Amino acid sequence: MTGRGEPPEGPPEPPGGEDEYRSLVFDESFVRAARLQEFSARERMGEPARAVRSVGSLTGRGTRRRSRAAVLLVLLITLAFATAVYIGFRNPYPKPVGRHVEPLRTTVIPLAPRDAVPGGAPDDLFSGGPAAQFPTGASGVNLPPVRRTENFSNSQVTAALATVKDYLVASSLDPDVLSGRIVRPVGRLLDPDQTAQFDRSMSAPADDGRHTATGWLVRFDPADVELADTDIRVQGSLSYAETGSDTLEVVSDHTFTYALRPAASGPHRSDDASLFTVRRELHFVIDREDLRLHRLEVHSAYVQAGPQSCSADAAGALRPLLAGERADDRGPDGTDPYATGLPKAGLCGTLTVSSPPQGPPPGPHAATSRPSRP
């Protein structure tokens, strides 16, 4: 009887070899259902390592980030555009709420000569009187030294004074305004709240202290007189003060001397001119809105003008006495204290020329007030 023989494959291998799992049998369905799974880099490297994102994850998150950046950029552009529009349309100098623009108060006093009005050539008349050293035209309206105030800068004060100068030039030196042909150069410089009063003063002047055209501007009747010399002599001063955190007050005091002659009705002689002098003291109020729009308010006007007769109606236009003429003996119109409506105060002054040619005097002529006779 022979012993157990070795298997045909050879002698068995020692324990621990591959034959250790020989008893495990995997059927075909188990093998087919098995999955091969490859560990990720993070799993292979351990917990501290970061997993590599898939391409799909990177694409989705990148798209979302770009979308957020695009939305943020659009919002920033919209905000910048809205800010620019707001700054462009916003008024940087808001007009004080509730500030009331006062109507102009005017006083126009004719100055009557004691003797006949002297005549001659314009150059001879100027050289022999107080206006000999006066500058001509706009050069006689000089701005004072400018210093900032508590609430207004140097540039703002300068702008206010420049607006006043423009008003004085337009209302006292423009030949078309002087002849009564136009009034727009003056009206366009006024605050809109005074436009209605100005328009009524031009269309229906009245000696009531509110609607006197010659309080707003210097005007002659072209049917009576014309300029004999376009070089108008000017001398005076400007001063300013801050009257509130939003307002400046400017005071102008100027003397204007005109060479006039009778209106053209034929050839003129060279010696038929005469001088006419107007002293204007005007008080202006300018707020921040006025500064921005280059306009002003005329608060009050005190005007002396001669030679004229005391009885002359100078509400609509000044009535000069020309070479060789004398003032009449009538005084200003009487005043009735019992009358209703705005009171009329008839005033007149006596025209005397006493200042020497050297050195500009403070005013055109020394005028003594003569109250109206009832």
What pLDDT digit, counting tens, does each position of 334-353 carry? 556 666 665 565 678 888 76
Count of positions (residues) in the chain: 374
- Low-confidence spans in the chain with pLDDT less than 70: 1-63, 88-99, 265-268, 331-346, 353-374
Q: Quote the radius of gyration of the chain (alpha carbons, Å).
A: 48
Burial of 264 (0-12, 13-18, 19+ CB in 10 A): exposed
Predicted local confidence at residue 89, as pLDDT: 63
At 302, phi and psi to the nearest 5?
A: -120, 115
**Selection from 237, 193, 220, 201 nearest residue 100 by Cα:** 193
Average pLDDT of the chain? 81
Q: Which two structure tokens, joined as six digits, stand for 101?
A: 């623009």
Predicted local confidence at residue 226, as pLDDT: 94
Q: Which two structure tokens, joined as six digits, stand for 238?
A: 């400007």
185 Cβ contact list (under 8 Å, min separation 6): 170, 171, 174, 176, 177
d(CA 259, CA 270): 12
What are the angstrom distances between the C-alpha of 282 and each of 59, 216, 299?
A: 78, 9, 8
Q: Which two structure tokens, joined as six digits, stand for 332?
A: 């200003």
Q: Which two structure tokens, joined as six digits, stand for 52?
A: 């590599």
Predicted local confidence at residue 354, as pLDDT: 40
Predicted local confidence at residue 329, as pLDDT: 81
**Selection from 262, 325, 306, 260 nearest residue 122 by Cα:** 260
Q: What is the pTM of this model?
A: 0.68
Q: Which two structure tokens, joined as six digits, stand for 182?
A: 């136009």
247 Cβ contact list (under 8 Å, min separation 6): 96, 99, 285, 286, 287
Predicted local confidence at residue 271, as pLDDT: 78
Type of residue numbered 75: L
